[in-house]
Amino acid sequence: MTAPPTPQHPVTVRAFAQRFSATPRGARLARHLALNQLHDWGIPHGTDPSDTVGVIVAELAANAVTHGRVAGRDFELRLSLVTGSVRIEVSDTRSGARPPGPGDVRPAGPLDDGGRGLVLVGALADRWEVLDRDPPPGKTVRAEVDVPGWWSLVRGHPV
């Protein structure tokens, strides 16, 4: 006699992608739309996952505008609700120097004007990495934030 098969949950991926002007206004809009998208997916404003994703999107978008800006080119934000987490990807089109990856980020000094964005991303994200942009040129910073109760989200029930 064989054991009954284990029920398999259907794979559901929810995705959002948008290009933004590489300006401070574009970075603010990216954060705003990301939070609204999470809310639409059942991750309400003001919850820990929403707030965490909001900070990460704000930092990565600001970096894309400040360090990855190429005149006349946009940056892109992609969000996806994947198994157990929200994946955030911010891509720019600047070639050349890449930001440091996990484990290589040095904290800013107390009097430095910048250098805290990736420290925050590293502290808040459950996982993150820097990748070559596909298609080139440029790079993508990908971060993931685990979402407790994610399965209820894909079934249409809020966290």
Q: Where are the domains of the chain?
A: 14-154
Question: What is the model's pTM?
Answer: 0.84
Pairwise CA distance, residues 68 & 52, whole Å: 22
How many angstroms separate the CA atoms of 59 and 117, rounded? Answer: 5
Going by C-alpha positions, the residue among 40, 79, 46, 81 that lies closest to residue 61 is: 79
Residues 34-74 pLDDT 10s: 999 999 998 999 999 999 999 999 999 999 999 888 888 89
Tell me, what amino acid is at 88?
I
Sign (positive or negative) of CA dihedral 138, 56, 125, 39: negative
The torsion defined by the Cα of 111, 55, 23 and 68, in degrees rounded to 10, comes to: 70
In CATH, what number does 14-154 get? 3.30.565.10
Q: Which residue has the higher pLDDT, 91 or 98?
A: 91
